[in-house]
Amino acid sequence: MTDSPGKHEEQEPDYRFSLANERTFLAWMRTALGLLAGAVAVRQLVPEFGVPGARTILALLCAALAVLLTAASYPRWRRVQRAMRRGEPLPPNRMMLLLTIGLAVITALAVVLVVTG
């Protein structure tokens, strides 16, 4: 049987790989929930810094990163699942870079705010 252009024959992957993909998706969701909880905690529980509005900015950055991770998680899960069904290489994971840069920015801002008071 010849594949037509743009069509790939799909096969059900080993269930262990599908379950691992699902666990990875859920891990991204837990990370997003942790960032959201951090945003609420920073805004509600951390004393005001010397810079007006800094606490709100820090909380908004955490919440924005949580939204980005949440929005990217399902499409990532779906792309990986499709690649596994088609026997293709897994797609690159840009979420790692997004999370790394986002956390680096949030951490740097938090350090500067703590040091400067």
- Residue 9 binned pLDDT confidence (cut-offs 50, 70, 90): confident
Residue 87 — φ and ψ, nearest 5°? 70, 25
**Digit-coded pLDDT (tens) for 28-38:** 999 999 999 99
More confident residue, 9 or 69: 69
Which pair of structure tokens corresponds to residue 53? 């509005």
Read off the pLDDT of each residue in 3-7 and give the average, rounded to a whole number: 52
- The Cα 21–Cα 29 span in angstroms is 13
pTM: 0.85
Long-range contacts of 73-79 (CB under 8 A, 24+ apart): 73/25, 73/28, 73/29, 73/32, 74/25, 76/25, 76/28, 77/21, 77/22, 77/24, 77/25
Evaluate the CA torsion angle 46, 47, 49, 55 in order and state its sign.
Answer: positive
Q: What is the pLDDT of residues 77-100, one digit of tens each?
A: 999 999 999 999 999 999 999 999
Contact 99, 76 (CB under 8 A): no
Query: What pLDDT is attached to residue 13?
Result: 86
Q: How far is CA 40 from CA 3, 11, 61, in A?
A: 51, 44, 11
pLDDT band at 2 (very low <50, low <70, confident <90, very high): very low
Reported as a single tens digit per residue, the pLDDT across 21-71 is 999 999 999 999 999 999 999 999 999 999 999 999 999 999 999 999 999
